[in-house]
Chains A and B, each alone.
Chain A
């Protein structure tokens, strides 16, 4: 999508300029900066890790790989236990967190997401605790199934949440953003399980880590290609730095885990790199939205193109 040049101030300053020039009101942004704090992208990373880990737990259990199920289950519980406080503390009124469960609103990905978290959290944490303690095995298996299935929306709803805004770099990436988040979640879940599981049982985790990294990098590249000039924030400022870090860490981590993950130090180093890459990916997407909303060019340009001059 093309975006006009200039700062949009010249017309408002009283100069007569060609109609083709982009216009704005004293260069002021049309959109507000999102109110969300830095806890939000960290929650996206933790929630994605938890969701994909729970699905891996269920898969490993069904495949009879119980050591992998335990490692992945631990990651799922850790992810959601770390994630929920991040989510609550971002609210302007944290004490009113439970208001999230006042209504069920299909038009609000945050509403549906809250219900997913409400179901997923206790299931994932409960299943892991019961597995470790060796109590209520049948209930633990049921919880694993619930968490494993809810893990899929858990890992992807946050992408819909971002895309369902007026922020151009988020909204126009609606097709690819869920794939980026799913890939990032799979990479982190594979990495965490590869770290937490004995190498002999962690083969599927390593394969998932590599596949997730490939999906993350591939869909992020596709996203930037389709955004065109709207995707400029991914090459500028904080978002650009995070995007580069994400690419480097994810690629290096995937290669390390894929080639040498059977050895403990490599699994640890590569796994940590993948976890970092996954977090940097969410930070890049998050910051890009702020940069996109701050510049009226990205908002006015495509809209003006739509309605004609």
Chain B
């Protein structure tokens, strides 16, 4: 078994060779039919509460809106009028990316967020104290504090099901295999073949999103085949894990602390009584 190395020090080493291959999602949006079975299956299995009063947004068939504390799968609907092709209707099921360099996990001060033996990123509800630091740290706007509860919640990649050798609820429910679950290495190969097929068939807009480890989040455990720019689906085009710049930030703070110490020292010069 190959274990995809992760920059987060808790993976691999932390499991002392007990870590299996890194598992993830490949969401092929070219075959998504917008049925929202993934949204329903996720809510049912994970007992995710209602995310507000039932209402229509007016944004195509999307009445879910966005990922959040109470929405762990979200199907986006993008209607686009093309000059030559007529109406193109894009659908895409979004989910927590389980980043290789996961800012939420790295900034979590309590260790509530951790890297599982499957390489996924999960919140321990019994540890989280609701500090909220992970919320603005996530470059995808995924993790969120549940108002009435105080703690943060997000997709667990069905950690409980994985432990029992099952696949996540959303992937099980997906009728078209748009959501594919498996070892990340395998999914990446499958995605590369699918992209090649689509490009050969003349779907020039097809592209893989978050597949490569060279990106700002070091690639993701959940990656996508998109048919338009990421931002059309509400995804950031070049997400970066904020902690990549942390050494620079600490150096700036050291300079500022030095300036403060110098200001105090200078203010006191010649003041002896």
Q: Are A306 and B238 also in contact (CB < 8 A) when A105-B109, A204-B267 are?
A: yes
Q: Is the CB of B242 within 8 A of A171?
A: yes
Kindly report which residue of chain A lies nearest to residue B83, judged by CB atoms. A16
B78 partner residues in chain A, CB cutoff 8 A = 12, 25
Bound CA–CA A217/B76 (angstroms) = 44
* Chain A count of residues within 8 A CB distance of the other chain: 94
Cα separation A92 to B148 with both chains bound (whole Å)? 9
- The reply to whether B137 and A165 form a contact with Cβ atoms under 8 Å apart is yes
Q: How far is the CA of A16 from the CA of B272 in the complex (A)?
A: 74
Q: Do A156 and B257 touch across chains, with their CB atoms under 8 A apart? A: yes
Query: B130-149 vs A: 1/0 string, CB under 8 Å?
Result: 11110111111111110001
Cα–Cα distance between A203 and B236 once the two chains are bound (Å): 52
Does A133 lie at the interface of the complex (its beta carbon under 8 Å from any beta carbon of B)?
no
Asked if B243 lies at the interface with its beta carbon under 8 angstroms from chain A, I say yes
In the complex, whether A211 has a CB less than 8 A from a CB of chain B is yes
Q: A280 contacts the other chain (Cβ, under 8 Å)?
A: no
Which chain A positions have C-beta within 8 A of B237?
A: 300, 303-304, 306-307
Give the distance in Å from the alpha carbon of A300 to the alpha carbon of B229 in the complex. Answer: 11
Tell me if A287 is interfacial: C-beta within 8 Å of chain B: no
Assembled-state Cα–Cα distance A91/B129 (Å): 6
CB distance from B149 to the nearest CB of A (A): 7
Indicate if the CB atoms of A96 and B260 lie closer than 8 Å. no
Say yes or no: A30-B140 contact (C-beta < 8 A), given A25-B233, A93-B150, A300-B231.
Answer: yes
CB contact between B81 and one of A14, A165, A183, A306 (< 8 Å): that residue: A14
Interface contact B263-A24, CB-CB below 8 Å: no
Q: Assess the A35–B132 pair: CB atoms within 8 A.
A: yes
Nearest chain-A residue to B104 (Cβ)? A166
CB-CB nearest in chain A for B248: A174
B13 beta carbon closer than 8 Å to chain A: no
Does chain B have a CB within 8 A of A70?
no
Which of B110, B144, B245 contacts A32 (CB under 8 A)? B144
The CA-CA distance from A55 to B139 in the complex, in Å, is 36
* Closest Cβ–Cβ distance, residue B84 to chain A (whole Å): 10
Residues of A within 8 A of B138 (CB): 31-32, 166
Report how far A185 CA is from B111 CA in the complex, Å.
30
Among A8, A90, A102, A303, the residue within 8 A (CB) of B111 is A102
Q: Which residues of B contact A64 (CB under 8 A)?
A: 272-273
> Which A residues touch B149, using CB under 8 A?
92
Q: Which residues of A contact B81 (CB under 8 A)?
A: 14-16
A269 contacts partner chain B, Cβ-Cβ < 8 Å? no
CA distance A157 to B150 in the complex (A): 24
User: Is B246's CB under 8 angstroms from A92's CB?
Assistant: no
A56 to B, closest residue via Cβ = B264
Asked if B234 is at the interface of the complex by the 8 Å CB criterion, the answer is yes
Say how far A227's CB is from chain B's closest CB, in angstroms: 15
Q: Which of B106, B253, B267 contacts A207 (CB 8 A)?
A: B267
B229 touches A23 (CB 8 A): yes
CA distance A113 to B267 in the complex (A): 27
Chain A, Cβ-Cβ closest to B233: A25
Indicate if the CB atoms of B257 and A155 lie closer than 8 Å.
yes
CB-based contact B238/A152 at 8 Å: no
Known: A35-B144, A165-B137, A212-B263. A300 touches B127 (CB 8 A): no
B94 → A minimal CB distance (Å):
10
User: What sequence of 0s and 1s flags, for each residue 10-32 of chain A, a beta carbon within 8 Å of any chain B beta carbon?
Assistant: 01101110000011111011111
Return the chain B residue nearest A58 by Cβ.
B264
Nearest opposing residue in chain A for B146, CB measure: A92
Q: What are the interface flags for A83-108 relative to B under an 8 Å C-beta threshold, 1 for contact and 0 otherwise?
A: 00000001111101101101101011
Chain B: CB-nearest residue to A304: B237
User: B206 interface residue, CB < 8 Å from A?
Assistant: no
Which A residues are CB-close (under 8 A) to B242?
Answer: 164-166, 171
Give residues 39-84 of A contacting B (CB, 8 Å): 52, 55-56, 59-60, 62-65, 68
Q: Mark B108-131, 1 if CB is under 8 A from A, else 0.
A: 111110000000000000011111
Shortest beta-carbon distance, A13 to chain B, in Å? 8
Contact between B235 and A211 (Cβ–Cβ < 8 Å)?
no
Whether B103 lies near A166 (C-beta < 8 A) is yes
Task: Report A-chain residues with C-beta under 8 Å of the C-beta of B51.
Answer: none
Q: Are A185 and B76 in contact (CB under 8 A)?
A: no
Q: With A28-B234, A155-B260, A166-B137 in contact, do A99 and B243 touch (Cβ < 8 Å)?
A: no
Apart from A94-B129, A164-B245, what are 5 other A-B pairs with CB-CB below 8 Å?
A12-B232, A26-B59, A30-B234, A92-B151, A174-B249
The 9 nearest A-B residue pairs measured at CB? A92-B130, A92-B150, A25-B234, A35-B132, A178-B256, A96-B129, A111-B109, A152-B257, A182-B256
A-B contact list, 8 entries, CB within 8 Å? A29-B141, A99-B112, A111-B109, A159-B253, A160-B252, A174-B252, A185-B260, A300-B237
